[in-house]
Amino acid sequence: MSKLSYFNLPDVGEGLTEAEIVSWKVKLGDTVAINDIIVEIETAKSIVELPSPYAGMVAQLMVAEGDTVDVGTPIIAIGSELAAPETTPAPVVPEAPVAPEADVMKPLVGSGPKADAVKRRPRVAAASAALAPAPTVAAVAAPQAPAQVPASNLPTQAQAAPKSSRVLAKPPVRKAAKDLGIDLNEVSATGLRGEVTKKDLLSYQDQRTAEQDGAGSFWAPATGSGLADDPRIERIKVKGVRKATAKAMVESAFSAPHVSIFVDVDASRTMEFVKRLKASRDFEGIKVSPLLILAKAVIWAAARNPSVNATWTGDEIIIKHFMNLGIAAATPRGLMVPNIKDAQNLSLKELAIALNSLATTARAGKTQPADMQGGSLTVTNIGALGIDTGTPIINPGEVAIVAFGTIKQKPWVLDGEVIPRWITTLGGSFDHRVVDGDLSARFMADVAAILEEPALLLD
């Protein structure tokens, strides 16, 4: 008899309340050691790999891939014994067992949901071999084949399940079913734990519409519109980074009074400086771009104008005498803003290495939640997409953001003559509760001054 240890979804970031199970790295019957990677989850900020806190045999995967679960929810059971599983399958019980307190992994210091986090009802397990609760390691053995049932006795979509049994379904599905007047007992469930999914509801409603030739199908705006099954229509569920970004941008745009200013800059000397750095032996093998000089310029200008490196709390303004420089990065998972901690202490070479590492990690989707917390001022390089300028939205918790436009040759008047120069446009957005017009103008002028003459960084 093997003793089971249950691994609860931990809080991998400050204040995390839920996460999506992206992919399991183990399967039933696998043997794992402590710190072996067992699952990949997606939080509102990043994808994170979770290591196993226990050694033993995987006895139960309690959550299916694609499901979103609350912090503290048991997601996997690991047997304490490494012996081969017994041949007798474990009995299926209707509800997941509650692990003894001693068997549940204690959260790491500082982890776990906040005290006021909303708690959901515990999940009810279905009679599925892959997800059935198992008090012993014997659960990993293949279940015996069920007795053959005559086809005439098999339930169909039109045959309701016994009213006494509670159909498994998530709250949004239950609400949709109620709004549509659908009895969930009549819907065939295809979920991994035997639950009715949105897809099941869609299928049932489409069939019911076809049979009744009446009401419009689920999600379709009107009867006969054809949108429900139109191959030209694509619906993307809002979750993860996209959901978090949308929430943060709306909160920022409608809570912080934005003011934006722009300045055209002759960045010809920055281009020359970047060219010299690329040829320098000290920067051999290090990617160098004008963004490096802009980042250094923002750090320098913020030191001269500390109030742009602050946070508004309502009761006070918190000015930070350090720079956690955020760099907005477009990734396959959406917009992310990781930051370089204590960027003010880095040399130009160290800053270049940090920028390269940040970009590589973000594109690979491996940015950790901690790398996106505690930012103090953000730079967004819209010029990389060929855009001249824009009005960026301030990252929540900050009061300033700088947009870096593309650098291109344009006619420029210099000493009374029109000559071609490398010109860029900087756009800055500021929280007017903290940064007034004079301060924002001085800060942007200081940033522009470095791009016009990088030698000022040597002062």
Does the active-site annotation cover 258? no
What is the rounded distance in angstroms from the CA atom of residue 41 to the CA atom of residue 447?
39
Q: pLDDT digit string (tens) for 390-420?
A: 999 999 899 999 999 999 999 999 999 999 9
* Residue-by-residue DSSP string for 227-238: GGG-TT------
pLDDT confidence of residue 255: 77
pLDDT confidence of residue 192: 78
pLDDT confidence of residue 170: 82
Give the helix, strand, coil percentages of the chain, each rounded to 5. Answer: 30, 20, 50
Under 8 Å between Cβ of 8 and 50: no
Alpha carbon separation from 7 to 21, 60, 335, 443 (Å, rounded):
14, 11, 31, 50
> In degrees, to the nearest 5, what angle opens at C-alpha 387 toward C-alphas 385 and 294?
85
Under 8 Å between Cβ of 367 and 46: yes
Q: Which of 170, 258, 349, 432 is catalytic?
A: 432
Packing angle, helices 290-304 and 437-452, rounded to 10: 140
Enter the pTM of the model.
Answer: 0.56
pLDDT confidence of residue 138: 37
The residue written with tokens 């809570």 in the block is: 255
CB atoms within 10 A of CB 144: 9
Q: Partners of 421 in the beta sheet?
A: 410
Residues (pLDDT < 50) of the chain are 83-164, 213-225
pLDDT confidence of residue 228: 58
User: Which helix (H) or strand (E) is 155 found in, with range?
Assistant: none
Packing angle, helices 268-279 and 290-304, rounded to 10: 120
Domains, the chain, in order of start with CATH, read 1-146 (2.40.50.100), 151-229 (4.10.320.10), 241-458 (3.30.559.10)
What is the rounded distance in angstroms from the CA atom of residue 448 to the CA atom of residue 443?
9
pLDDT confidence of residue 294: 97
